Amino acid sequence: MTWMVTGGAGYIGAHVARALLDSGMKTVVVDDLSSGFAGFVPDGAVFVQADIRDKNALIEAMLTHGVTGVIHVAGFKYAGVSVQRPLHTYTQNVTGTVILLEAMHEAKVDQIVFSSSAAVFGTPDVDLVTEDTAKDPLSPYGESKLIGEWLLRDQAVASGLRHTSLRYFNVVGSGDPDVYDTSPHNLFPLVFEALVAGKTPRINGTDYPTPDGTNVRDYVHVADIAAAHVAAARRLEAKEAIESAYNLGSGNGLSVAEIMTAIASVTGIDFIPDAAPRRPGDPPRIVANGDLAARDLDWKMRHTAEEMVQSAWDARLRAEKTGAAQGSAE
């Protein structure tokens, strides 16, 4: 088995590539390094620097390395920014997925695990989101991920493509000290960068209809997310029954304020966050039921909140110590 990971030089994709290699599966990473880093690509993986909109490069990589399946992680992932850059978001996430599927069809690669998102649900009117909860994305990013799921569904009807979509919730932590979240928009790196610079972190929105006024999210460890991708790939390879989509959530929500408290405890830096306005496209609460993924993909929460913070902080400190700290481009 040889699996291609698009976006495999990014934070999540690099963890997926490592998990594949650790499970004994040959791995090909495709990334244009627009927001990923060559240093994140694990030893043992074949690295192809290419844009996923370059169909010929994708076909060549698939045929040259005998790719049997694709884990599609590449894309523009910033929900808030997508409100200001909708065309860019659709070009990266929708056009890119169309071209990838065309390349797969021409190279006769017929199985794919798609990196979807909790953003497809928008602001759900239920306490616990299931796979069947109504889809009502609030941002071009969320819309692009829902369209991606539709593209897989329709291509499956047309060509027999075997597929599943994994809907991430808030991915945090580090499963490898050499890989950490470099996003300029995600909570953990925003807080860490502020602390490293001696500044006070801020909370975007303190007037949400939640118990403490801050967003409630379903925080999941990136290593657990990566393990679910491997399980999905193996299930596809074995031609076992698989759902079209799985929620990768814990079933428990933590508020941003609660995360701030955990970060202060882990880092030993006492701070009171500054209050800032809400970010466009951010729903007040989104927490998911992960029972289907637990049934089929050995999904489980293997890390506590403190362990998630600790692993992320340790990786960030290591990057600072080694001079590898870097911001992510958009």
Predicted TM-score (pTM) of this structure: 0.92
309 and 255 in one domain? yes
**What residue numbers bound the domain in which 259 lies?**
187-217+251-287+302-322
Domain tally for the chain? 2
Task: Give the 3-state secondary structure percentages of the chain, helix then strand then coil, rounded to 5.
Answer: 40, 15, 40
203 and 143 in one domain? no
312 and 227 in one domain? no
CATH number for position 66: 3.40.50.720
Is residue 198's pLDDT more than 50? Answer: yes
232 and 138 in one domain? yes
Q: Could you read off the pLDDT of 21-51 as tens digits, one per residue?
A: 999 999 999 999 999 999 999 999 999 999 9
Q: Tell me whether residue 294 is in a domain.
A: no
193 and 122 in one domain? no
71 and 141 in one domain? yes
Among residues 141, 180, 219, 246, which one is catalytic?
A: 141
Active site residue 141: yes
Q: Could you read off the pLDDT of 251-279 as tens digits, one per residue?
A: 988 999 999 999 999 999 999 999 999 97
CATH number for position 204: 3.90.25.10
307 and 242 in one domain? no
3-class DSSP string for 89-135: HHHHHHHHHHHHHHHHHHHCCCEEEEEEEHHHHCCCCCCCECCCCCC
